[in-house]
């Protein structure tokens, strides 16, 4: 076994690898960029080496600096994690030339599976089923258009060297193909340095099911069962679970054997995932009719590997280290068993209500559910951040992975929702509440799964007020009163039971909640009596008997007309984040003395919704534009985002050029909107 390894990655996967290495008695070396100088993964390792600037191209993708760091620290092997250099054939080859063990497959396997088109040709020879499509080398746009028309719409355009949902476009009609192809190729060259694409028939009611495979240097290959990764947004996974709901033993065996055949065809060593698209021609309730087709092979450890660990009881990183050091697989196929059900939720800094736009900012509050840390157990959190850390625009938007295990799927779902309810993040937008909505949706609960679930269930997943206006106001008000009492102490004039000439003590408040301006009046009751809280006016008016008290653990117990609710409130200035068992929400206190009314939106200004890079403008000064027309493309957190015209008008001025870095809120261009 190795004495010391270098982890050529960052964030939660670097922390994850370091945890297993420490338990095995293997020393670890971290590498870090300028932005990660104080990152959690740096502290998690025994040594750390600075390798460059904040952008990945200046640090985590500079493999010559990583090799220098390995030589300087005496590391014997390099674990690439996932992303960055994990599937880089040249890096794997350079490690071998430098006398370092690459903890992953041989460079030849990465090469064979790295290009989607070539890998599909290889799989066809190995007898693995393929989706109808075009995988040829000729990339003439006119030819690609003809091939798409021949295959029949809808089709998927996919970057041949792609992965992680990047470089992928769904095209539903022929006239949209050319624009989608151009965008896909641009994203592919930026992300992978290769703009070659392939085209495939888009399978209706598709499920994304992948098989975990593992090979050793003695020629043994096993599969550690499957994961269902069908719940996706923007072609990126949101929830993953194992085993796949509705999977029949026969289909599991066929897919497992096909995955092993795929791995053996390229002489695979280490951890890998063979991804299949599964068609459900008979509908959700006929799993015996499902058909599977090879999509691609990821020649690395996957983000979702913890669910496989949870149902098998195996540590896949430990397997990686054992196999890379020349040892045989710890278990053979006949020794592997499925125990229970596991689900992983990816907690990301993003705004689901705004097309999952990535968010940046500081984790002012980051509270996790009680869990077993790395250890395989009921609840586990894998992360690479701490409270007070910043989520920057340089890297992926994922904050943490929350993994739960149950004896069956129903128990796992209940535990996941409870763990998400205990996850409190304040300081930037996250998808935690959205994940809870998905988990509790009828479609997901009943395992009616396909990759269109989020879009299909849009009404149930978006725009939901899970806390409720009255509870949010009561929680915010109780929090403010609690803070006042803590500051005032024994001040007799703040006593609620003190005698007053004018009778009951009445106070007025103003809030904004979900875009609505709210007035609230609180009339203090006598000692032991409920207060009277009046919220809103007219038909929206609520009159509530309110009692509250602070619990020893910092929570607030609210009683609204006899209905008990427990809330946790975190304040950032005038913005209060309210967390209850039902969900979470934000409510803003309005300073009634300073509030002079909303000045309104200044029309004609189009600003950057997040920090990032301007990729291109689709218009120039003087162009007439129509509402919804694409105007500019930005890139942030490895994804492209289109800025559209808010209405009909004329472009007055472009304020930046392609390649410029811009801050959040920066004005990109001006248009004169038609009256």
**Residue that has been written with the tokens 């509270």 in this structure:** 367
CA separation for the pair 512, 525 (Å, rounded)? 25
What is the CATH number for 629? 2.40.50.100
Q: Are residues 339 and 243 in the same domain?
A: yes
Domain assignment present for residue 124? The answer is no
Work out the pLDDT band at 374, boundaries 50, 70, 90. Answer: very low
Domain assignment present for residue 84? The answer is yes
Q: Are residues 219 and 362 in the same domain?
A: yes
Q: Are residues 143 and 238 in the same domain?
A: no
Render pLDDT for 563-591 as a digit per residue (tens, 0 to 9): 999 999 999 989 999 999 999 999 999 87
CB 410 within 8 Å of CB 350: no
Domain assignment present for residue 117? The answer is no
Q: Which pLDDT belongs to residue 596?
A: 43
Q: Average pLDDT in the 242-261 region?
A: 96
β-bridge mates for residue 239, sequence order: 231, 345
Domain assignment present for residue 125? The answer is no
Q: Are residues 216 and 161 in the same domain?
A: no
Q: Which of 431, 461, 491 is the last residue of a domain?
A: 461
Tell me, yes or no, if 337 is annotated catalytic. Answer: no
CB 159 within 8 Å of CB 191: yes
Domain assignment present for residue 418? The answer is yes
Q: Which DSSP string do the residues of 437-455 spell out, in sequence order?
A: HHHHSHHHHTT---TTHHH
Q: Are residues 353 and 429 in the same domain?
A: yes
Residues for the chain: how many in total?
675
What is the CATH number for 11? 3.40.50.20
Q: Are residues 622 and 583 in the same domain?
A: no
Domain containing residue 615: 605-673
Render pLDDT for 194-203 as a digit per residue (tens, 0 to 9): 899 999 888 8
Q: How many domains are there within the chain?
A: 5
Q: Are residues 568 and 609 in the same domain?
A: no
Domain assignment present for residue 214? The answer is yes
Q: Which of 435, 461, 487 is the last residue of a domain?
A: 461
- 595 has pLDDT over 50: no
* Residue % of the chain over a pLDDT of 70: 93
Q: Average pLDDT in the 104-110 region?
A: 95
CA separation for the pair 311, 299 (Å, rounded)? 22
| Cα separation of the two ends of the chain | 72
Please give the radius of gyration of the chain, using alpha carbons only, rounded to the nearest integer: 27
CB 244 within 8 Å of CB 237: no
Q: Average pLDDT in the 594-605 region?
A: 44
pTM of the shown model = 0.82
Domain assignment present for residue 538? The answer is yes
Work out the pLDDT band at 311, boundaries 50, 70, 90. Answer: very high
Work out the pLDDT band at 126, boundaries 50, 70, 90. Answer: confident
CA separation for the pair 208, 232 (Å, rounded)? 9
Q: Which pLDDT belongs to residue 644?
A: 84
Q: Are residues 328 and 234 in the same domain?
A: yes
Q: Average pLDDT in the 534-555 region?
A: 92
Q: Which of 461, 494, 521 is the last residue of a domain?
A: 461
Tokens of 34: 């300028």
Tokens of 362: 């500081």
Domain assignment present for residue 92? The answer is yes
531 Cβ contact partners less than 8 Å away, ≥ 6 residues apart: 522, 523, 524, 525, 545, 546, 547
Q: Are residues 494 and 642 in the same domain?
A: no
Q: Are residues 167 and 225 in the same domain?
A: no
Q: Which member of 169, 227, 300, 405 is catalytic?
A: 300
* Residue % of the chain over a pLDDT of 90: 70
CA separation for the pair 282, 494 (Å, rounded)? 68
Q: Average pLDDT in the 215-241 region?
A: 95
Q: Which pLDDT belongs to residue 164?
A: 65
What is the CATH number for 178? 3.30.1490.20
CA separation for the pair 309, 189 (Å, rounded)? 34
Q: Which pLDDT belongs to residue 605?
A: 63
Q: Are residues 420 and 326 in the same domain?
A: yes
Q: Which pLDDT belongs to residue 484?
A: 86
Q: Are residues 153 and 33 in the same domain?
A: no
Backbone angles phi, psi at 432, to 5 degrees: -60, -50
Render pLDDT for 149-189 as a digit per residue (tens, 0 to 9): 999 998 999 998 876 677 899 999 999 999 999 999 998 88
Work out the pLDDT band at 192, boundaries 50, 70, 90. Answer: confident
β-bridge mates for residue 512, sequence order: 517, 588
Range of weakest confidence among 41-45, 378-382, 412-416, 666-670: 666-670
What is the CATH number for 314? 3.30.470.20
The mean predicted confidence, pLDDT, of the chain is: 90
User: Comparing C-alpha atoms, which of 257, 606, 185, 233 is closest to residue 434?
Assistant: 233
Q: Average pLDDT in the 83-103 region?
A: 96
Render pLDDT for 28-79 as a digit per residue (tens, 0 to 9): 999 999 999 999 999 999 999 999 999 999 999 999 999 999 999 999 999 9
């Amino acid at each position: 076994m190795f004495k010391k390894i270098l982890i050529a990655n960052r964030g939660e996967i670097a922390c994850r690898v370091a945890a297993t290495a420490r338990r095995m008695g293997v020393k670890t070396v971290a590498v870090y960029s300028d932005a990660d100088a104080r990152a959690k993964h740096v502290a998690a390792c025994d040594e750390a080496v600075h390798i460059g600037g904040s952008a990945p191209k200046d640090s985590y993708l500079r493999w010559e600096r990583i090799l220098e760091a390995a030589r300087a620290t005496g590391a014997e092997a390099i674990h690439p994690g996932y992303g960055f250099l994990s599937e880089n054939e040249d890096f794997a080859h350079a490690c071998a030339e430098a006398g370092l063990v690459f903890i992953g497959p041989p460079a030849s396997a990465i090469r064979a599976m790295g290009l989607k088109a070539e890998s599909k040709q290889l799989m066809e020879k190995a007898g693995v089923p393929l989706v109808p499509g075009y995988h040829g080398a000729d990339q003439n746009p006119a030819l690609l258009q003809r091939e798409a028309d021949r295959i029949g719409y809808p089709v998927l355009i996919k970057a041949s060297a792609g992965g992680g949902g990047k470089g992928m476009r769904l095209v539903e009609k022929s006239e949209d193909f050319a624009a989608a192809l151009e965008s896909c190729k641009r994203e592919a060259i930026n992300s992978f340095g290769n703009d070659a694409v392939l085209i495939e028939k888009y399978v209706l009611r598709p499920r994304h099911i992948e098989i975990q495979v593992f090979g050793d240097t003695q020629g043994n290959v096993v599969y550690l069962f499957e994961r269902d990764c069908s719940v996706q947004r923007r072609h990126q996974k949101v929830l993953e679970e194992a085993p796949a709901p509705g999977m029949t033993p026969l289909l599991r065996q066929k897919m497992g054997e096909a995955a092993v055949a795929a791995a053996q065809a390229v002489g695979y060593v280490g951890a890998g995932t063979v991804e299949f698209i599964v068609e459900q021609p008979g509908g959700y309730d006929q799993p015996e009719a499902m058909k599977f087709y090879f999509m691609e092979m990821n020649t690395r450890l996957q983000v979702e590997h913890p669910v496989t660990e949870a149902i098998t009881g195996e540590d896949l990183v430990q397997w990686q280290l054992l196999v890379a050091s020349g040892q045989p697989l710890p278990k053979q196929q006949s020794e592997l068993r499925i125990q229970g059900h596991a689900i992983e939720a990816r907690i990301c800094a993003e705004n689901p209500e705004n097309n999952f736009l990535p968010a940046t900012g500081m984790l002012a509050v980051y509270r996790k559910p009680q869990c077993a840390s790395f250890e395989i157990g009921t609840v586990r959190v894998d992360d690479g951040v701490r409270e007070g850390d910043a989520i920057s625009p340089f890297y992926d938007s994922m904050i943490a992975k929350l993994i739960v295990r149950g004896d069956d799927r129903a128990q796992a779902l209940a535990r996941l929702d409870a763990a998400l309810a205990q996850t409190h993040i304040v300081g930037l937008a996250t998808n935690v509440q959205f994940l809870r909505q998905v988990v509790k949706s009828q479609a997901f609960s009943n395992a009616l799964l396909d990759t269109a679930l989020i879009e299909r269930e849009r009404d149930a997943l978006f725009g939901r007020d899970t806390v409720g206006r009255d509870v949010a106001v009561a929680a915010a008000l109780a929090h403010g009163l609690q803070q006042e009492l803590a500051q005032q102490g024994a001040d007799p004039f703040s006593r609620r039971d003190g005698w007053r000439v004018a009778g009951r003590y009445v106070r007025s408040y103003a809030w904004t909640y979900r875009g609505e301006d709210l007035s609230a009046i609180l009339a203090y009751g006598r000692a032991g009596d409920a207060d009277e809280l009046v919220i809103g006016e007219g038909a929206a008016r609520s009159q509530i008997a309110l009692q509250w008290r602070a619990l020893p653990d910092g929570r607030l117990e609210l009683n609204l007309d006899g209905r008990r609710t427990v809330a946790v409130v975190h304040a950032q200035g005038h913005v209060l984040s309210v967390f209850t068992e039902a969900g979470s929400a934000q409510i803003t206190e309005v300073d009634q003395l300073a509030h002079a009314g909303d000045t309104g939106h200044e029309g004609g200004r189009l600003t950057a919704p997040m920090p990032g890079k301007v990729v291109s403008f689709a218009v120039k000064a003087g162009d007439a534009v129509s509402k919804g027309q694409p105007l500019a493309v930005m890139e942030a957190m490895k994804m492209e985002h289109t800025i559209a015209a808010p209405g009909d008008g004329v472009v007055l001025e472009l304020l930046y050029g392609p390649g410029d870095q811009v801050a959040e809120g920066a004005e990109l261009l001006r248009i004169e909107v038609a009256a």
